[in-house]
A and B are shown apart, each in its own frame.
Chain A
Amino acid sequence: MERLSPSARRDAYGSKINRAHSPVLAYGVPWLTIMIACLVPLLPIIALAPIVPPLGYLLLLGWRLSRPGVLPMWAGLPLGLFNDLYSGQPLGSSILLFSLTLISLELIEIRFPWRSFLQDWLIAALFIPIYLLASALFSGAQIGFDQLPILIPQCLLAVIAFPIVAKMITLFDRLRLTRVKRIG
């Protein structure tokens, strides 16, 4: 008797028989996770200096780098607006930075379509300091040149946190592509 391959009926995303991906999950999970990450200021941490990595931005980078199709290029406007409402930055700063990030990632994508995770991390390590520096400039806080080192710990933390965020995104991605819809 011939046997079916074990992956013929089931794979990591669930049963292949009678089930399909849900478009709501497939398109909604990236948006939802980024928006939840933007709520970081509501964590019960009262920080005296900027120290917590900008999780919303990290998730945006992670999703865009690992799954180029899921976020449209205009996603920077709504997501940035949501981030601005909670981050304490003047309204518009994240809209501008998120949009510019998505445009420049698109250009990088055209030049380097095939990347390994290390290259993704390198790109993130390039974008995060620029984002933090620009946010500090746009924040309206009077920060002198000698006070810029206060950004360094946050910057390093964010760069180090990126692989963890990327790993989290792969878990969310599995949830995103779980076959939950019943056919017939």
Chain B
Amino acid sequence: MAPPSANRSGSNKKAQLGLFAGYLAAGLGATLGALLLAISLWRPETFNGMRSMASDAAAPVGEAGAATRVGSRNFFEAIAGYYNAGSKNAELEEEIQIARVRLAEARALEQENERLKAVLELTNDDPPPVATARLIGSTSASTRRFAYLSAGTSDGVTPGMPVTSPLGLVGRVLETGRETSRVLLLTDTDSVVPVRRATDNTVAFAEGRADGSLRIRLINLGINPLSEGDIFVTSGAGGLFHPGTAVAMVSEVTDDGAIGRLLSNPAATDVVIVQPIWQGETLEAMEEPLDTEPDSE
């Protein structure tokens, strides 16, 4: 489409000025953007409040999305059940339903058993969770890997808390709003988790690679003892993550470690658990300045 005549100023002084003002405003906008970008790269936490307010405001959209997903499944099931009901004995139907549920439960149990065996009963002594919440979205268009969680400060969530699913670690809380919080997923390149091999004490760091896999970097360099299929769990070093939560499985061995596959794929997890920081008191005590001056009396 041809541009409106406003784009051709000609010798019209007013139109020339208007056009100039447009370029000026756009240029100022770009400059402001560059400044804000520089500030937020230099001090990433500067605009956290604004962002969590915005995600609080839009949380109902995400909740509605998650709810319709669950609702529509039930809706279709309901229609299907109604459609078949005429041709079947009601009693038989009920029995079959129960049997199906039992079978599904048994299958789920079987699968869970397999997985738990694989990670060597690692989730036995979990601390009581802070909150149970839903992952309502993720920054699926950006290179950063954040997820939005449907629990915030009103549920007792604070930044730094680990987020887990029954299958393993998902990430940790980065910033909190009143009703939502932002979670740094394990696959973000800023995420580093101290891990150890489940079978022995080979310690390593699991770093995100932004493409869905983790890079496992061994701390003690030497002969690489890893092999495909090794399971890594959190080691508890650093005091943030509860030790023994499953993290990754080695899928490819490299020179200085391995590439790992996430055990707890956040795409497949609906409900997650927010855990307290493992050694929160110790960490707080470490951050306070030491009382070096003894009382003079």
Residues of the A chain whose Cβ atoms lie less than 8 Å from the Cβ of B133: none
User: A42 contacts B137, CB within 8 Å?
Assistant: yes
For residue A28, CB closer than 8 A to chain B, the reply is no
Interface: B241 (CB within 8 A): no
Number of residues on chain A facing chain B (CB within 8 A) = 63
Smallest Cβ-Cβ distance to B27: which chain A residue: A103
Residues on the B chain within 8 Å of A138, using CB: 37, 41
Complex interface residues of chain A between 117 and 159 (CB less than 8 A to chain B): 135-136, 138-143, 147, 150-151, 154
Identify which of A74, A86, A91, A147 contacts B29 (C-beta below 8 A): A74
Say yes or no for B34: interface residue by CB 8 A criterion.
Answer: yes
What distance in Å separates the Cβ of B54 from its nearest Cβ neighbour in chain A? 4
Q: Does B51 contact A (CB under 8 A)?
A: yes
Closest to A55 in B: B141
User: What's the Cα separation between A132 and B11 when bound, in Å?
Assistant: 40
Within A72-113, the residues touching B (CB, 8 Å) are 72-74, 76-77, 80, 85-100, 102-103, 106, 109-110, 113
Distance of A44 Cα from B139 Cα, bound (Å): 11
- Choose among A44, A90, A94, A106 the residue that contacts B69 (Cβ–Cβ < 8 A): A44
Q: Decide: B23 and A48 in contact? CB cutoff 8 A.
A: no
Residues A45 and B140 in contact, CB atoms below 8 Å apart? yes
B138 with A47: CB separation less than 8 A: yes
Please indicate the chain B residues that have their CB under 8 angstroms from the CB of A102 in the complex: 26
A95's closest neighbor in chain B, by CB? B33
Stretch at the interface among A1-9, A13-21, A61-69: A61-69
* A103 in contact with B23 given A41-B138, A46-B137 (CB within 8 Å): yes
B127 within 8 A of A: no
Q: Is A54 on the interface with B (CB-CB < 8 A)?
A: yes
Chain A residues with CB below 8 A from B61, complex form: 39, 42
Give the contacts of B257-282 with A (CB-CB under 8 A): 262, 265-267, 269
- Given contacts A69-B4, A92-B40, is CB(A53)–CB(B141) below 8 Å? yes
Once the chains bind, are A114 and B50 in contact (CB under 8 Å)? no
Per the 8 Å Cβ criterion, residues 102-143 of B in contact with A are 135-143
Q: Which residues of A are interface residues toward B (Cβ below 8 A)?
A: 39-55, 66-69, 72-74, 76-77, 80, 85-100, 102-103, 106, 109-110, 113-115, 135-136, 138-143, 147, 150-151, 154
A and B contact pairs by CB, cutoff 8 A, 26 listed: A41-B140, A43-B62, A46-B266, A49-B211, A52-B141, A54-B141, A72-B25, A73-B23, A74-B26, A77-B29, A80-B33, A85-B54, A87-B142, A90-B41, A91-B40, A91-B46, A91-B50, A92-B34, A99-B27, A106-B23, A109-B7, A110-B7, A138-B41, A140-B190, A142-B189, A143-B210
Residues of B within 8 A of A (CB): 1-4, 6-7, 22-23, 25-30, 32-41, 44, 46-47, 50-51, 54-55, 58-59, 61-62, 65-66, 69, 135-148, 185, 187-190, 209-212, 262, 265-267, 269
Top 5 A-B pairs ranked by shortest CB distance?
Answer: A92-B36, A88-B139, A95-B33, A92-B37, A96-B33
